[in-house]
Structure 1
Amino acid sequence: MDSLRHELTRFIQQPAAQQDPPALYRRLLAEAPVLDLGPLYVVSGHQEILSVLMNPGTAVDPTTVGLPRAGGTALVQIVNRMLPMRDGADHTRLKRLATTAFSARRLGQMRQRIESTTERMLAPLLASGCFDLVADLAVPLPVAVSCAILDVPDSDHDRITGWAGLVARALLDPFPDEAQAAELDAEFAEFHVYVEELCAARAADPGDDLISRLTVARAEGRLDTEELLAFVVMLFANGLETLTSGLAVAAFQLLTTPGLSERLRAEPAAAEAVFDEAQRLGSPVRASARALTRDVRAGDTLIPGGSVAMLLYAAANRDPRRYPDPDRFDPDRADRHHLAFGHGPHHCLGAPLSLMAGAAVLRGLAAADAERRLGTPLTEETVRRSEQFAFGGMRELPVFCPPRDELIGATA
């Protein structure tokens, strides 16, 4: 067991060197679905993770077990007030306000906008003959989706993309040094002014968008000014690192799986299942953590209260006790209930939008592959992944897409 602890500790501390190691996941699942690393318990089994997530003694706030919460900058303090960082009654209250943006009616309205935005973004990239799917599509598209939710004009997208990246930096590095903190605060001050102006405009002329609803809720005392700001900031940044990574792993699957483009051209409705299975196998969110305010039983292990549980979603999504032949990409699986979007109270509200966006990208790429020969020089061994442990996304995904008639001419 000591060798397994050593290997896992190295993986946590040096994710860039380890990348995504299915062999380590297999060892954890077979030998120790819950592994004690001192005050930290790494939970990798699918059912064991569900036991933690659904236990009322589980919290996202580290201060509940006496650990410090990051808060050195104004931006990080706002991040701490976001919906995913809240527990109990506060989380329930804020989530109830957010559900209006993800109702069946609103999602139906969003579908066409997401598909048209994806088509508009893909067209010039494909025409160029080569592009980086991460930087050129997987980063700007989630921001465009968020802007659609909030009914923000297209002319503001570039600025919001930069600010969304700012929030992502704060999430990935919540303890910056003094110089970095000053830089973050200066950039965030501009974002703060923009959001306040946007809220003021919606308060004066409300519409059917989420910002309008939130400004009404603030006027009625159902949330305060910081919570409103945190909500809007969260929605602008929603999808960076998560949907961005999800789009990349799904596109990579399409580019490297023989016959998949042809199938999606023949069965466009299968695109959501393909994207969903890619999320299970690729696990864009590799792990998250929960503080335990009481003893929690996970499988055969009783994790003591006061501990922190690291939930290794990437391993759980390959748990053979849950998924037959778990390392195989199979969009036709009977059971696709995975943990890529979380589970329980903190299940991602934006999951349906992610599925829509992912399916739209896959259909667009598959359709283009009929006229252009799409491919990437990368393999599983050469893909450069995020150096942040919590996220398993790709840092780049070069796509070559020359017209097929050019290739025929060159061969002739």
Structure 2
Amino acid sequence: MESLRHELARFIQQPAAQQDPPALYRRLLAEAPVLDLGRVHVVSGYQEIVTVLMHPGTAVDPTAVGLPRAGSTALARIVNRMLPMRDGADHTRLKRLATTAFSARRLEQMRARIESTAARLLDPLLAAGSFDVVADLAVPLPVAVSCAILDIPDSEQDRVTGWAQLVARSLLDDFGEQADPAHIAALDAEFDEFRAYVEELCAARAAAPGDDLISRLTVARADGRLDHDDLLAFVVMLLANGLETLTSGLALAVWQLLREPALAELLRARPERAEAVFDEAQRLGSPVRASARALTGEVAVGGTVIPAGRVALLLYAAANRDPRRFAEPDRFDPDRAELRHLAFGHGAHHCLGAPLSLMAGAAVLRGLARAGETRELSTPLTPDTVPWSTQFVFGGMRELPLRCPPRAGGGPDLAGPDVPGRLAEPAGLAGAVRG
């Protein structure tokens, strides 16, 4: 067991050393789906994680077990008020305010805008002949989708993207007692600009409300159901939604498409399967590797009783390959029957934006599959040379160069989906508690 603990510790501390360690996951699932590391218990089994997530004696707030909140900046204090960082009745109250905006009817109304937004970004990149999937597509697309559904003009997206990246960095930075005061001051100054923008946006919607989520939130503030900082945190969350998660998920899905040329043929023949392909890429790649819960009461899970006061580190990446849940879990199979994985969380904290992510990811995959008829899509990267993320909670790639020169004698890029074609083979802990 000590060798397993050592291997797991190395993976947590040096995740870029092996982005996708199925052998480690298999050992954890077979030998210790609940592994005691002292104050932290690592939970890797699918059902074991679900048990923790659904248990009433858990909290996302680390202060519930005496741990400090991550971050001391003004932005960190707003991040700690966001919906995913709230517990119990407070979380339920806030989530109820957003639920109607993510109803099946409203989501379907958003589909055309999301697909047109994805095409607006992807088409000029393909025309250029090469681009970086991460920087040029997977970073701007989540913000563009958020701006589209919140009725924010395209002209504002570059500024909002910069601020969204600021929020994403704040989720990962460790601002302890040794933090550089000048660095914190610079972050606070940058966030002040974002805060002013959001407050101006909310004031405009309050003065002339529309049928958008920000307008409804300003009404909730006027009715006393939200205070000023709750509203600010909500809108900041909406604008930054998807960075790190959808960004990583998009890169992982495109990487899978490049490695499995038959997927492009499937998507051209059956474009309606694109969401299932993207969803399976999320299961296999797990862009959110792990989350955690503070245990306010003892939790019996997998034959182990974890005492109150401990932290359960939930290793989603392992659970999404649990053979007790997924047949042949290391195989990419968009047709598998067990579609409920943990890439978007589970229970009360299941991601509200998951359907939007599926729509956006599917639109990108369909666009690339169509382009593969007339362009040679490839990447110079191999599994051994991929620059994986260097931090633990969010997986994914730091970059994914994609080459897409026109094929000799190729027709227009937007040819119909029924023409056969192939993509070219490629060459060759406090912070986690809040997830």
TM-score normalized by structure 1? Answer: 0.97
CA distance in 2, matches of 1:105, 1:190: 35
Q: Which residue of 1 aligns with 2:284?
A: 281
Q: Residues 59 and 295 of structure 2 are in contact (CA less than 8 Å); yes or no, is this contact kept in structure 1?
A: yes
Q: Which aligned pairs between 1:184-195 and structure 2 lie closer than 5 A?
A: 184-195=187-198
- Kindly report which structure 2 residues correspond to 1:120-199, keeping only aligned pairs within 5 A, or say none: 120-175=120-175, 176-199=179-202
Structure-2 separation of matches of 1:9 and 1:262: 41
- Match for residue 67 of structure 1? 67
Question: How far has the Cα of 1:215 moved from its partner?
Answer: 0.4
The alignment partner of 1:184 has SS state of helix
Q: Secondary structure at the match of 2:375?
A: coil
Question: SS of the residue aligned with 1:405?
Answer: coil
Matched, 1:237 2:232: no
- Pick aligned residue for 2:298 from 289, 295, 299: 295
Query: Hey, what does 2:380 align to over in structure 1?
Result: 377
Which ranges of structure 1 fall in alignment gaps of 5 or more residues? 408-412
Q: CA deviation at 1:131?
A: 0.5
Q: Name the aligned partner's letter for residue 160 of structure 1.
A: V
Q: Deviations over 1:143-183 (max 9, x none)?
A: 01111221111110000000000000101114153222111
Superposition pairs of residues 220-369 of structure 1, within 5 angstroms: 220-369=223-372
Root-mean-square deviation over aligned CA pairs: 1.2
CA deviation digits over 1:352-405, x for unaligned, max 9? 000000000000000000010111122222211111100111111111111111
Contact residue 386 and residue 395 of structure 1 kept, 8 A: yes
Q: CA deviation at 1:406?
A: 6.6
Deviates most, 206-215 or 62-71: 62-71
2:16–2:388: 8 Å Cα contact kept in structure 1? yes
> Which residue identity lines up with residue 49 of structure 2 in the other structure?
I
User: Under a length normalisation based on structure 2, what TM-score does the superposition of the two structures give?
Assistant: 0.92
Partner residue of 1:47? 47
Shift of 1:102: 0.6
Distance in structure 2 (CA, Å) of the matches to 1:97 and 1:174: 31
Whether the 8 Å CA contact 2:286–2:320 is kept in 1: the answer is yes
Q: Is the 8 A contact 1:45 1:315 kept in 2?
A: yes
d(CA) in 1 for partners of 2:57, 2:22:
30
> What code does the residue aligned with 1:205 have?
A
After superposition, the C-alpha distances for 1:277-336 in whole angstroms (9 at most, x for unaligned) are 000000000001110001101111111110000000000000011111100001110111
Report matched runs for 1:205-224 at 5 Å.
205-224=208-227
**Kept after mapping to 2: 8 A contact 1:78/1:229:** yes
Instruction: Give CA deviations for 1:83-132 in whole Å, capped at 9, x if unaligned.
Output: 00000011000000011221122211210001011111111100111110
1:202 to 2:202 alignment: no
Secondary structure at 2:387 match in 1:
coil
Q: Distance in 2 between the 1:324 and 1:377 partners?
A: 32
Is the 1:101–1:149 Cα contact (8 Å) retained in structure 2? no
Secondary structure of 1:151's partner? coil
Counterpart of 2:102?
102
Q: SS at 1:159's partner residue?
A: helix
Q: Which residue of 1 aligns with 2:427?
A: none
2:89 is the alignment partner of 1:89: yes
- 1:357 counterpart letter in structure 2: A
- 2:118 maps to which residue? 118
Query: Once the two structures are superposed, what CA deviation does each residue of 1:233-262 show, in whole Å capped at 9, x if it has no partner?
Result: 001110000000010111111111031111
Aligned residues: 408
Counterpart residue identity of residue 229, structure 1 = L
Moved over 4 A (4+): none
Question: Which shifted more, 311-320 or 66-75?
Answer: 66-75
Would you say 1:21 and 2:24 are equivalent positions?
no
Structure 2: gaps spanning 5 or more residues: 411-435
With over 3 angstroms needed to count, the CA separation of the structure-2 counterparts of 1:254 and 1:269, relative to structure 1, is: same
Q: Secondary structure at the match of 2:408?
A: helix
Q: Could you tell me whether the CA contact under 8 Å between 1:5 and 1:37 is conserved in 2? A: yes
Counterparts of 2:281 and 2:317, CA distance in 1: 12
Instruction: Look up the SS of the partner of 1:291 in the other structure.
Output: strand
The DSSP-based 3-state class of the residue aligned with 2:402 is strand
